Amino acid sequence: MKQRQGLIALAFLAPALVCLAVLRIVPAISAVVESFYTESLLRGGRVFAGLGNYTDLLSNKDFRQSIGVTLLFTVLVNPIQVAVSFLLAVLFTQRAAGAKLWRTLVILPIATPPAVSAVIWSVIYRPDGLANGVLERLGLPAQPFLTSPSQVLPSLIVLLSWIGVGYWMLFLIAGIQEVPEEVREAALLDGAGPWRRMVSVVLPLVRRPLAFVLVADTVSNLLVFAPVQILTKGGPNGNSNLLMYDVYSRAYAIGDIHVAQAEVVILVALTLAIVAGQFRLLRGDQ
């Protein structure tokens, strides 16, 4: 019985597995292979370097700093985005006038071309820009934002959350809508307060969509590079030098594909470790 089920399941899975293998896994393997080679421009030609690219990277101060920055960023950005997305999803699933319009506006930033999002936020964060304009109106001192080593990462997190939370909210709304209305109404009649209702009734019921959002958001944030590339180039002093940006600039701007692929392997290993941890955590929750 189980074997027959396996065959049927395989039939359903086959088209996707072929696509993933050919379009993702095979090029990924070739990337791993490239990471063991090096190319000399002075002598010409590609030579096997073994783990040379990896040891070079790990002994590089900037690269180690980049890993630290990436981990700090991951620890900060994901809980914030998941929490805000969840709160927004709860807000926009209440029966209230205009909810459809408002939540469309919240989702919209994900549809904006990334290059334009970066221009918008460069204008917001300029010393004479919109954010300092607002602070001035409120009687607060001007802030350096992207030019300050301590404010650059929080500034990027705000920018990325503007882009992303509406998107992740969408999946949580889908999850909340799956919760039968009677259950939600019953909780309301019970007289449970809005907060308690949210935590005790809604949260467990959207467990699976929430797990998806947590994992997918974490992965997406580990692969962010466009705003860094356009706004900070990893600075000041490497404080926004996220790994994926480093990979991107190495592979595309500098053209050092071999070291870039070694860096990708390390990045994927790091992502895998974090995601595996999340899965374990979520399983323990069940």
Q: How far apart are CA 107 and CA 127, in angstroms?
A: 28
Restricting to residues 70-99, name those near other proteins by CB under 8 A.
Answer: 88, 91-92, 94-99
Q: How far is CA 265 from CA 10, 181, 260, in A?
A: 29, 46, 9
Asked if 143 and 135 touch (Cβ cutoff 8 Å), the reply is yes
Binding of residue 285 to other proteins (CB under 8 A):
no
* Tokens read off for 6: 């396996």
Write down the least CB distance from residue 252 to other proteins, Å.
4
Single-letter residue type at 115: A
Q: Which stretch binds other proteins (CB under 8 A): 70-78, 174-182, 196-204?
A: 174-182
Restricting to residues 102-131, name those near other proteins by CB under 8 A.
Answer: 102-116, 119-130
Number of residues interacting with other proteins: please give it, by CB under 8 A: 135
Q: What is the three-class DSSP state of 1?
A: coil
Restricting to residues 31-70, name those near other proteins by CB under 8 A.
Answer: 31, 34, 38-42, 44, 53, 56, 60-62
Q: Which stretch binds other proteins (CB under 8 A): 26-34, 65-73, 75-83, 195-203?
A: 26-34
| Residue with smaller CB distance to other proteins, 60 or 200 | 60
Q: How far apart are CA 15 and CA 12, in angstroms?
A: 7
| Residue with smaller CB distance to other proteins, 76 or 236 | 236
How many other CB atoms are found less than 10 A from the CB of residue 279?
13
DSSP code string of 131-167: HHHHHHHTTPPP--GGGSTTTHHHHHHHHHHHHHHHH
Write down the least CB distance from residue 83 to other proteins, Å.
14
Asked if 83 and 164 touch (Cβ cutoff 8 Å), the reply is no
Restricting to residues 186-245, name those near other proteins by CB under 8 A.
Answer: 208-209, 211-212, 215-216, 219, 223, 225, 230, 233-237, 244
Q: Which stretch binds other proteins (CB under 8 A): 13-21, 64-72, 75-83, 196-204?
A: 13-21
Q: Which stretch binds other proteins (CB under 8 A): 5-13, 67-75, 195-203?
A: 5-13
Write down the least CB distance from residue 79 to other proteins, Å.
19
Restricting to residues 144-163, name those near other proteins by CB under 8 A.
Answer: 144-149, 162
Write down the least CB distance from residue 119 to other proteins, Å.
7
Write down the least CB distance from residue 43 to other proteins, Å.
8
Q: Which has the closest alpha carbon to 209: 85, 84, 80? A: 85
Torsion angles phi and psi, residue 95, rounded to 5: -75, 105
Q: How far apart are CA 255 and CA 251, in angstroms?
A: 5
